[in-house]
Structure 1
Amino acid sequence: MSAVVPRYVSEEIASWNDRIAQAILSFGLATLGFFVLWSSAGTSIAMFFIVVACCLVPRRFVQLWPRRDRMVQIGLLLLAWIALRSFVGEGVNYASWRIVNHYHELLMLPVMWAVMRLAWRPQAFTNGLMLAGLIATAILFATALRAWYHLGGSYELQGHMEQAIVDRRISLGFGLSVCAFLIYEHARLGRLPRVPGYAGAALFAGAVLFACDARTGYVLVLALAGCAGYRAAPRKWRYQAVVALLVLGALLASTSQPLRTRFMDTVKVLQGAQPVNDSELSTTIRLEVLRNGLDVARDHWVLGTGWVAYQDAFRAIALARHPGQPELPGSQSVNPHNEYLLQLGAGGLPALLLFLAWLAWPMWRAARQRRLDRPWVGAAGCIAFAFAISALFNSVLLDFMEAHLYAALMGWMMARRLDRS
């Protein structure tokens, strides 16, 4: 005979189950926020804890899944097209599975949306993110000060962290720019004291402009400064505020030695000069892979080469442009460093249109939003705008760090939009 479990016992078990799940979830979100800027291994570990927490409360997680949101639906359609194009066009094999896994952030976004609504403390993610941003900012400024004043040496731990910063400078440029905008939004909306909040936003933006050697970050700081002016100004003065902030931001940025150096190196390469340093070589490679990406997209724009075959097609174009010279800068690369060209060349017109719609939906929703009790709709549109700009210079959806940060941030802001907080 089976025993009947009293109702109060099952409620107690459920309560403890919820508490354990929430503790694991808070730890996972904080860990994700801390590692997403600079460690793929740390990010993967954090996602493991988040998945474990969701498995402890599966019914509630499924109930909170954003089934009806258009951005989620478009993203899943894009992921389905990538899988279909890979498995049907290129076969079910390890290479195809690997390509589909590279775009799992399209699924991660609705997962993080549900997780942020499920969590009792979703701010654990942003707390971890801001802590990581502060550490990265401190290391960036410390490294820059030693370079400016020709100071030598660093502690071994700091040296390893500085190397990680250099290796992740593109991700950090994106991440710190976004963090600066989020701190500004919290201060503007009264979630943070205004003076410390604005000072923190300026500190993060200054780290990108003056201490981070990342051209994408420079562009994003100015773009998000324009978004901040648009959101803060009265309706009739919005465009004037955007122009004024862009001009002031450009003047301030012109005082940055790293920015001026990168700008002049880029100008020299565009004028046809041979690269003489790493910065000019990087620009030369960028231009070369962009031309190769345009050629692949022009030849395969209907249905694409397929993501597995894209590398071979890209390499063939590079060698055809410079026959007998495989050692030229950019000839060994198989990535156009432009997500739009990558989607068009690998997945054809369907992939590009779905990717554009996925990017544009939160911006379109932000433009239509008129309710003052849901300010995070506009903020989500600004973050989507920043991600769209980054996609011009990097394969941000293919890249691990930027895509994970974007998916987590959009999930966090979408949850806040629904909760009106």
Structure 2
Amino acid sequence: MTLTEPATARSTETTGTTGLHEALLHEHSAHNYHPLPVVVAEAEGAWVTDVEGRRYLDCLAGYSALNFGHRHPVLVAAAHRQLDRVTLTSRAFGSDQLGPWCAELSALLGKQMVLPMNTGAEAVESGVKVARKWGYEVKGVPADQARIVVASGGFHGRTTTIVGFSTDPDARGGFGPFTPGFDVVPYGDAAAIRAAITPETVAVLIEPIQGEAGVIVPEAGYLPAVREVCDAAGVLFVADEVQAGLGRTGHLLATRAAGVDADVYLLGKALGGGIMPLSAVVADADVLGVLQPGQHGSTFGGNPLACAVGRAVIELLADDGPDGVLARARTLGPVLHERLAGLVGKGVTGSRGVGLWAGIDVDPRLGTGRAVSEALMRRGVLVKDTHGSTIRLSPPLVITEAELHGAVDALEAALADLAGLAGLAGLAG
């Protein structure tokens, strides 16, 4: 399948040109992003269409927020039904969607309680607060002395507390002073976690797979070793599954795929089906039960519209049959990684990943990850770069095998284009 030919322009009236929209964005939006020159006007499944009628295969999927693709009919129908009823009550009152959503998500994960929030960063912030409060009230850590062990290279959001324990200079630079109480250790090193734990440590917070860092998959024994360290020290294992969870790896949770159960799960992105922001802290009552009325909250957290979509998301995730999204990621994942392995030495120096998720290291002689992303865009595929010459592939889990092959074909061709421009035509040939 080739993706190099742009589709004909839509017959419907477009809302403007790419240049106009980019100019408006440059003038009136803060420059905290450097987007590719694509202005999306419509989307469905694994495809988006820009304002000029060009179609692209979306292989970023909203950083995994669109695991079910754009405008999944089950999720759109759930949103439409709820829009005709009630969209927001605030938590000052109950709604007929919140209780069922909490119960269904608890059952799906095998935990007892859910704390609803909106974004992944809010879930992480809430997880930090819960872990500290648990440490004071249950473990007996002296007031204001709680510490949390985190991993270098991790990405957990953009709030000031979270960027304070980031090791990414772009995320941290210019935003201090930072919140104390975090101990950073190398990712993948359980012994370093053990050495960092003190009597004041209340939790270990890690991503089971580091997404923003370039889809870094730890060795098989790492997560079980983290679980053992936490058990021995009497601290909480908090798993940030905002990107890795909810089907991306072919499993409900990447932590569980490694045979490990965390004490606290932090969820977001795909939880709202790509329609509504929705996130959650999920744990048993002996952890989340430390929160009492007035101690934490969110105006929009757990709103009826998001919960209605979230309940439909849970139904899709609960279907682990051969036609479900989890099975599709497990089936197509090996196809993706086999194809990428075939590009090593042809402009790719290495790749790694699980399920429909891959980090691809491009030979820096061909250009930056941004240059590769732009070359792929010209061939009808959208991806995102990270950290130098690395790009990430995280297509919607509804992608077909033919579309997946088309994406890798486009990558191979884009690498050849860049190799030619760099005078290294034999490298990607």
Same fold (TM over 0.5): no
Greater fraction of residues in strand: 2
TM-score (norm 2): 0.29
> Who wins on radius of gyration, i.e. which is larger?
1
TM-score (norm 1): 0.30
Report which structure shows greater RCO (CA 8 Å, sep ≥6). 2
Greater fraction of residues in helix: 1
